[in-house]
Amino acid sequence: MKTLTVFTPTYNRAFCLEKCYLSLLRQDNEDFIWLIIDDGSTDNTKELVNQWKQERKIDIKYHWQENQGMHGAHNTAYKLIETELNVCIDSDDYMADGAVEKILSFWKKYGNENVSGIAALDATIEHQIIGSTFPEKLNSATLFDLYNKYGVTGDKKLVYRTELTKLYPYPIFQDEKYVGLAYKYYMLDKQYEMLLMNEVLCHVEYLPDGSSLNMYNQYLKNPKGFSFYRKELMKLPFGGKVFKYKQAIHYVSSNLLMKNPKLFIETPKKALTVLAFPLGFLLYVFIIKKTRTEVN
């Protein structure tokens, strides 16, 4: 049994997937499996992966499913992964040289059942660290505290214990394709901290069709997923009033987008939602105008 699974959700990304494959070929530690979750691609992804599998240079597993969105692909990955650890490398990204060895040697030295995994760094393809590094004297923290207490910024690469990522599956809403991936991470934050490693594990390229660059359209097309996400964040045992007020604003806008008459009944924070309604309504109007402008 290998120790690490590198999993890659992909959807019609055959044109850029090779970059990820080549980065895995360059790894000096082969104690990993590459799991590709093909989320309904209609391009030549399957043929490309079959070609790589025939090369037998690394251990590759491939799974095709009907399109469910990123969170649905993550759900499937976590069901299939059997290794102790896992890390997601997106289809338009690639793994840093030596990253597998860094993960496994760090985990062998510091890993234990009292933490959920490892948080490390992302960098651009020009090798510039995205956001900030971790505080030098901080050895572990929850993901929530990193951003909200210690002022860490930018996307980070998360390596989790697989038995934990099988918990808290993302809900699938009919005709929607998005639920915030951080839902699972914050649920695990309630019980565990993450070990911190100031090493770059992944190089990231934000393509124009990536979800991170189309957030307003995501709001419009996936109001149930966003409403669920905001409700769960409002229920967290941590996070101050300002944080939860922001979630309530987004909750209001999402429920207005889906014309939910039970907006005030289903919220876990009724008083906060009433206070957030005016700004939530303005956000709703802004999203409508923004998406119409983009279409035109």
pLDDT of residue 59: 97
Name which of 33-37, 205-209, 242-246 the model is least confident about: 205-209
CA distance 37 to 41: 10
> Largest alpha-carbon pair distance within the chain?
60
Say whether pLDDT at 295 is over 60.
no
Query: What value does the mean pLDDT take over residues 108-121?
Result: 98
Instruction: Assign 161 a pLDDT band (cuts: 50, 70, 90).
Output: very high
Angle at Cα 34 formed by Cα 32 and Cα 38, nearest 5°? 160
Tokens matching residue 273: 């939602």
Pairing of strands 115-124, 193-204: parallel
Say whether pLDDT at 176 is over 80.
yes
Tokens matching residue 110: 């510091």
CA distance 24 to 18: 10
Say whether pLDDT at 120 is over 80.
yes
What percent of the chain is modeled with pLDDT above 70?
97
Closest residue by Cα to residue 195 from 106, 122, 131, 123: 106
Amino acid occupying residue 183: Y
pTM: 0.93
pLDDT digits (tens, 9 = 90+) for 66-83: 999 999 999 999 999 999
CA dihedral 280, 281, 282, 286 (to 10 degrees): 100
Pairing of strands 60-64, 140-141: unpaired
